[in-house]
Amino acid sequence: MGKVVVFSFLLLACAWARAQTSERLQNNDLALTGGGQFAFSNPLDLGAAWALEGTFAHALLTVPLMSLSAELPVAGSFNSSIPTLNGLRLARTYNALFITPGVRLRLAPSFPISPYLSAGIGYARFNRQYFDGTTSPSSTMAFDLGGGLDLKVFPFVSLRGEIRDFNSGGVGLQSLVFGRQNNVFVTFGLALRF
């Protein structure tokens, strides 16, 4: 029985060491997550919209308990039921696209559970659809702040949960009255490390 325990311990130690070595070689991260978008700073908020986010990150600096990466998140929401004003016209729905390159600070990157914080600045595009069927696009600057948690399930695959606030203007008249809009994305999905 003692030999089985020692053999099992050595086998686990070798697997852990191999995982640590391969972890150091994984400089890139590609994730696809889905969930919902909520516009918290909008007093006309009537609900949430479906959201999808893809993110690519490349490690710039890694030390034993943290890593710093450059990241490119691309996020969109579809058919938001949040009414928006454009001049005197009320839009029925809108779609949103956010592209905000930035940085990510990951804590404990080689651990099975790894939290991170991210921030970026970039571009937001809104496409409003009016009740008469016409559309009106607009673009504005946006910045994002967010954080998430990766749970490693396989050597190169993680489950990811993330909350990211894309702060923007340009949705409509309420942006001038109530300030910039907080477009909070809550998403879950998979991340691949390579």
H or E segment and range at residue 10: helix 2-24
One of 1.20.1070.10, 2.40.160.20, 3.20.20.60, 3.40.1030.10 is the CATH number of 27-193, namely 2.40.160.20
Task: Quickly count: other Cβ atoms within 10 Å of residue 4's Cβ.
Answer: 8
CA distance 17 to 155: 12
Q: What is the pLDDT of residues 95-135, one digit of tens each?
A: 899 999 999 999 999 899 999 999 999 999 988 787 777 87
- pTM for the model stands at 0.78
CA distance 38 to 187: 11
Burial class (CB in 10 A: 0-12, 13-18, 19+), 134: exposed
Q: What is the pLDDT of residues 15-49, one digit of tens each?
A: 444 444 444 558 999 999 999 988 765 555 556 78
Please report, for the chain, the start and end positions of each structural domain, with discontinuous segments joined by +.
27-193
- Measure Cα distances from 31 to 28, 145, 159, 162 in Å: 10, 17, 9, 11
Burial 55-78 (b: 16+ CB within 10 A, else e): bebebeebeeeebebebebbbbbe
Q: What are phi and psi of 155, to 5 degrees?
A: -55, -30
CA distance 86 to 98: 20
